[in-house]
Amino acid sequence: MPAESTRYFVRFRLYHRILHIMVIVSFLGLALTGMSLKFSGQDWGVWLSWVMGGPMASRFLHRLFAVVTFLYFGLHVLWIIRSWIKDGFKKTFWGPDSIMPQFIDIKQMFQNVKYFLGKGPQPKFDKYTYWEKFDYFAVFWGVAIIGSTGLVLWFPVLFAHFLPGILINAAVIVHSDEALLAVGFIFTIHFFNTHLRPEKFPMDKVIFTGRVTEEELKNERPAEYERLVASGRLEKIETTEAKHWVYTAARIGGFTAVTIGLILVIMIIYALIAG
């Protein structure tokens, strides 16, 4: 008897996948150029700056990647507004299809801790888990803080017309330290949650392919799977397997990003320990 063929379902649309690729590229670029400046007193910081063409080239690249960041942030905000107009406020900002934190996330967080300790079953996650929502708002908050202070540093004369000098000085500290926090979080916590968990190791390719198998959907997001079946919407999001070249590109791009990120974290830790 022939084996049942694998079914695939859409998790991320092309629009969101493109935005996330923009996030990956711009964040890596900002991290590399920014850390080469922050740790310019370290040999590896000087070497990194040299690899990117020197301080002037690093500054240009840093601002170029900042423009990409503002672009994807603006496009995402426009998508939120479009969703609000199309689906209404409640569906966009509340309920199982929303990425907004809700009371159930707190409940499932404690349930998951009990599961880790062998004291209970794993919670039945829906479309977004509590850690995915945390990751999302970490980026949203980070772009707002780092982006706004970065603009102050990019155009200090302009902002000096209506901001006191102490705030411009504060922007230097906030921009640098918040960026360091973002790099540490993304290249450790986010990487572990997304790629280094046992069930996903060595890499979760869903953000590149936009697809999950039926087995993945059942096991990882049982509440969403049951909702889709009950509402008759499961078949509407069924799709075909991604092309081979997409998987190849995902592996190359994903492993490159993970490798660069982990090496950068190691060098940052070394620099902080060395003083």
Residue tagged 């022939």 (tokens):
2
The answer for 201, left when phi > 0, alpha when psi is -120 to 50, beta otherwise, is beta
Taking the C-alpha atoms of residue 123 and residue 104, their distance in angstroms, rounded to an integer, is: 10
Per-residue pLDDT band for 3 (boundaries 50, 70, 90) equals very low
Domain ranges of the chain: 8-274
Q: What is the 3-state secondary structure (H, E, C) of the chain?
A: CCCCCCCEEECCCHHHHHHHHHHHHHHHHHHHHHHHHHCCCCHHHHHHHHHCCCHHHHHHHHHHHHHHHHHHHHHHHHHHHHHHHHHCHHHHHCCCCCCCCCHHHHHHHHHHHHHHCCCCCCCCCCCCCHHHHHHHHHHHHHHHHHHHHHHHHHCHHHHHCCCCHHHHHHHHHHHHHHHHHHHHHHHHHHHHHHHHCCCCCCCCCHHHHCEEEHHHHHHHCHHHHHHHHHHCCCHHHEECCCCHHHHHHHHHHHHHHHHHHHHHHHHHHHHHHHC
Give the pLDDT confidence score for residue 145 in this predicted structure: 93
Residue 238 pLDDT exceeds 80: yes
Q: Summarize the confidence of residues 247-255 as an average pLDDT.
A: 90
Task: Give me the percent of the chain exceeding a pLDDT of 70.
Answer: 98
pLDDT confidence of 275, banded at 50, 70, 90? Answer: low
In the chain, pLDDT over 90 holds for what percent of residues? 69
> pTM higher than 0.95, yes or no?
no
Are 3 and 204 in contact by the 8 Å Cβ rule? The answer is no
Q: Is the pLDDT of residue 2 over 60?
A: no
CATH code at 8-274: 1.20.950.20
pLDDT in tens, 85-105: 998 998 899 989 999 999 999
Q: What is the pLDDT of residues 131-144, one digit of tens each?
A: 999 999 988 888 99
